[in-house]
Structure 1
Amino acid sequence: MTASPAGSAGRILTLPNLISFVRLLGVPLFLYLFLVVEADVAAVVVLAVGGMSDWVDGFVARRLSQVSRLGELLDPVADRLYILATLIALTVRDVVPWQFTVALLARDVVLTANLGVLRRFGYRPPPVHYLGKTATFVLLAAFPVLLLAATVPGAAVAAGAIGWGLALWGLGLYWLAGGLYVIQAGRLVRAARAEVG
């Protein structure tokens, strides 16, 4: 995100942050609708709205000059929770195979270890790369389409092809962005060691 105007970085009560909080509430709502009451159509709607709002909160923050540190933290947390919750739910209901879930989660395990290394050397998490945001957007677009393919028989063929096209594209971008984060961390760690040496 772009630099925020003076005084706005510490703000909490902003419209973008409200959107992010609502997105977070959508995670347990989706899990309840999809896994407990199996209201699949409502679950598709919640998932689609959650995916679209990923772009909306950032757009509103920049448009209204309400970029805040809290918002910069909430946005990726909401993204990860949506992806994690959706993956688990879709795997439990056999909408996506476990291999796809493992492939996505393995990337997050790698980046968690990467973050631990950065913190050990006194660095904060790197800023979100546009490639990572694109990967997240594509994945959040793929999930409701895959869910639609699994729950609406008439849409199975077309929605399945579109959903898996997006999902595999998102998976590739997700790992590519992860690789860039690891390379960036490696450069920072080498620089820190050079200073000590």
Structure 2
Amino acid sequence: MSEEAAGAPPERERQLGIFEDKILTVPNMISLARLACVPVFLWLLFAQNNLWAAAWLWGGIGATDWVDGWWARKFDVISEFGKFVDPLTDRVALIVPILAIAIEGAVPWWLVIVTLAREGLVALAGLALSAMGGRRIDVTWWGKVATFGLYFAFPFLLAGASDHSTAAGFEIAGWVVVVPSLIYSYLSAAQYIPLARIALREGRLDKRMG
């Protein structure tokens, strides 16, 4: 047996090392913790009928939206798993609660449709771009602003539907925030059109050169 083979770690240890280095990172754990809070939110909303607590939990999920990505860039622990789980968490933590509070009757369905129509269009466009060989498009600044605003607007509206003494104020705040956030979200969707052309061209070029 060669020295290289003798000194090489067993396959199981090597795979475990990759798992710890690429998956068990602080940003990924933050993303997974945020994702795990979504079932708790649903439990508070439907099983406990505690709209006030559910609103605060959802607000906390939204307020920490930036932490995982910032940590990954700051400490250079960006991983392929993180690139997958971070946007997945963001989408699930926004879309599932929005549908849930509409079912609960806390917000009108037309607002949900307007909000999720944009999310659906962007998701379908991303899938089409990937299928055609385009590279991944990073979220624009307007898109981040819109998502951050929606993460606060909808919890405000949910708190406004509760029986808390400050509910009326939260309802007003929710509508004040949700309108510009939706405008920003559609503006950001329009920004992706020229970016998609560039991403498609660069993605195909990279594949030809590779």
> Which band: TM-score by shorter chain?
0.7 to 0.9
Alignment correspondent of 2:173: 162
Alignment correspondent of 1:112: 123
Deviations 1:133-172 (A, max 9, x none): 2211111111221111111442233211211111112111
Is the 8 Å Cα contact of residues 141 and 166 (structure 1) preserved in structure 2?
yes
Alignment correspondent of 1:79: 90
Q: CA deviation at 1:187?
A: 4.4
1:33 maps to which of 23, 40, 44: 44
Deviates more, 1:143-152 or 1:37-46: 37-46
The amino acid of 1:113's aligned partner reads L
Identity of aligned residues (%): 33
Is the 8 Å Cα contact of residues 47 and 144 (structure 1) preserved in structure 2?
yes
Is the 8 Å Cα contact of residues 44 and 51 (structure 2) preserved in structure 1?
yes
Change (3 A) 1:12 1:153: closer
Is the 8 Å Cα contact of residues 28 and 85 (structure 2) preserved in structure 1?
yes
The 1-side partners of 2:84 and 2:102 are apart by 27
1:134 aligns with 2:145: yes
Q: CA deviation at 1:77?
A: 0.9
The 2-side partners of 1:189 and 1:180 are apart by 15
Taking structure 1 as the reference length, the TM-score comes to 0.84
Alignment correspondent of 1:16: 27
Provide structure 1 residue ranges, at least 5 long, that are not aligned to the other structure: 1-6, 193-197
Q: CA deviation at 1:80?
A: 0.7
Alignment correspondent of 2:60: 49
Provide structure 2 residue ranges, at least 5 long, that are not aligned to the other structure: 1-17, 205-210
Deviates more, 1:88-97 or 1:124-133: 124-133
Is the 8 Å Cα contact of residues 137 and 199 (structure 2) preserved in structure 1?
no
Aligned length: 186
Deviates more, 1:171-180 or 1:144-153: 144-153
Is the 8 Å Cα contact of residues 111 and 182 (structure 1) preserved in structure 2?
no
The amino acid of 2:98's aligned partner reads L
Deviations 1:90-134 (A, max 9, x none): 111221111111111111221233123312321133112222122
